[in-house]
């Protein structure tokens, strides 16, 4: 396989210290990109940067408007922005506290708004670019038990993705969303371990997909490489489902 699909591209990956963000940052670097890896976890970022050349770590709170604006202002240009950072808030509508709601909105929605808003002028100046947003099949696509706030925020991400795709297609900016089902990330593993019967919980999560297992971060990263590359130049506004058949 040729490792040059992103040669010369300057890419941002948020949530890069672990899981899908980490795998994508590594995949982008392998494909020849200059990667700026963002997260609040400085230790996770340090170990990521030590693993591959071409990755510059930045400890950044992407829910902070000033921090996001300052970071983007310092960039010479921008070709790809992958907004991967997010949290899973567990609970039903009646169990959702104001603190849960506000945190889910801040991390999953406001950060994407701020990041995209900062990216557009840079991409416009460079003649175009690709924005990729991490959504979920738990969104406007469908629901899941105990995921009220999470589903609401991911539906918002899909709405923002469609809107940005339409508004900026004429200036060469593409905006697509990735919609996975269960993925074997560190945070997913943590949630399973915290459950009463982790073995049964893992079996239940795996059986949600007709293929009989959860996805891997590397599989999602491969899609993120495609959406960042010129091979997907005709795609914008797509909500790409990658779910092992969970929504069939």
Residue 2 predicted with pLDDT over 70: no
Residues 131 and 192 in one domain: no
DSSP string, 74-85: T-S--SEEEE--
The residue to which tokens 């808003």 are assigned: 117
| Residue 3 confidence (pLDDT) | 57
Confidence of residue 189 (pLDDT cuts 50, 70, 90): confident
Q: Are residues 174 and 201 in the same domain?
A: no
28 is catalytic: no
State the pLDDT at residue 201: 82
Local confidence band at 101 (pLDDT 50, 70, 90 cut-offs)? very high
Beta bridge mates, 36: 12, 56
Number of domains in the chain: 2
CB 161 within 8 A of CB 130: no
In a domain, 4, yes or no: no
Q: Do 58 and 38 form a contact (C-beta atoms < 8 A)?
A: yes
Q: Are 221 and 188 found together in one domain?
A: no
| pLDDT-derived band at 57, boundaries 50, 70, 90 | very high
- Give the percent of the chain with pLDDT over 70: 99
Whether 160 and 191 share a structural domain: no
CATH of residue 157: 3.40.50.720
Between CA 75 and CA 110 the distance in angstroms is: 21
Which one, of 159, 152, 154, 160, lies nearest residue 117 by Cα?
A: 160
Listed residue (131, 185, 143, 140) closest to 158, CA to CA: 140
Clarify whether residues 194 and 159 are in a common domain: no
Question: How much is the average pLDDT of 162-169?
Answer: 98
Burial class of residue 134, CB neighbours in 10 A (0-12, 13-18, 19+): buried
- 2 assigned to some structural domain: no
Question: Are 49 and 135 in a shared domain?
Answer: yes
- Residue 39 located in a structural domain: yes
Average pLDDT over residues 39-61: 97
- What is the pLDDT, as a whole number, of residue 1? 47
Residues 104 and 202 in one domain: no
Tell me the β-bridge partners of 91. Answer: 147
| 66 and 163 inside one domain | yes
Q: Decide if 5 contacts 32 (C-beta within 8 A).
A: yes
Q: How far apart are CA 185 and CA 207, in angstroms?
A: 17
On whether residue 247 sits in a domain, the answer given is: no
What pLDDT does 126 receive?
A: 97
Estimate to the nearest angstrom the gap between the alpha carbon of 41 and the chain centroid.
16
What domain range is 132 assigned to?
Answer: 10-180+216-242
pLDDT of residue 202: 84
Q: Do 89 and 31 sit in the same domain of this protein?
A: yes
What is the rounded CA–CA span in Å between residue 38 and residue 67? 11
Task: Identify the three-state secondary structure at position 81.
Answer: strand
Predicted confidence at residue 97, as pLDDT, reads: 97
Q: Are residues 95 and 198 in the same domain?
A: no
Of 28, 150, 168, 234, catalytic: 150
Q: Which is higher by pLDDT, 83 or 206?
A: 83
pLDDT tens per residue across span 108-143: 999 999 999 999 999 999 999 999 999 999 999 999
* Average pLDDT of the chain to the nearest whole number: 95
Q: pTM, whole model, 2 decimals?
A: 0.94
Same domain as 205, residue 157: no
Q: How confident is the model at residue 205 (pLDDT cuts 50, 70, 90)?
A: confident
Domain presence at residue 1: no
Could you tell me which residue, 81 or 193, shows the higher pLDDT? 81
Classify residue 60: in a domain, yes or no: yes
Closest CA to 176 of 126, 242, 106, 107: 242
> 45 with 77, same domain?
yes
């Amino acid at each position: 396989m040729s490792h040059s699909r992103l040669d010369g591209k300057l890419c941002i990956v948020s949530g890069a210290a672990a899981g899908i963000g980490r795998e994508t940052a590594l995949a982008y670097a392998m494909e020849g990109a200059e990667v700026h890896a963002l997260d609040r976890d400085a230790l996770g970022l340090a170990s990521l940067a030590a693993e591959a050349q071409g990755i510059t770590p930045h400890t950044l709170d992407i829910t902070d408007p000033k921090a996001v604006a300052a970071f983007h202002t310092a960039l010479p240009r921008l070709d790809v922005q992958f907004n991967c950072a997010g949290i899973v808030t567990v609970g039903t509508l009646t169990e959702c506290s104001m603190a849960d709601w506000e945190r889910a909105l801040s991390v999953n929605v406001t950060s994407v708004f701020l990041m995209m808003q900062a990216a557009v002028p840079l991409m416009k100046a460079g003649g175009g670019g690709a924005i990729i947003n991490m959504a979920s099949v738990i969104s406007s696509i469908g629901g899941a038990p105990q995921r009220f706030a999470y589903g609401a925020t991911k539906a918002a991400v899909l709405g923002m993705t469609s809107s940005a795709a339409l508004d900026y297609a004429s200036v060469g900016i593409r905006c697509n969303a990735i919609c996975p089902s269960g993925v074997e990330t560190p945070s997913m593993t943590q949630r399973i371990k915290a459950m009463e019967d982790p073995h049964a919980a893992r079996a239940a999560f795996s059986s949600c997909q007709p293929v009989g297992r959860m996805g891997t971060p590397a599989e999602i990263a491969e899609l993120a490489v495609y959406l960042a590359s010129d091979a997907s130049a005709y795609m914008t506004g797509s909500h790409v489902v990658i779910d092992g058949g969970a929504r069939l």
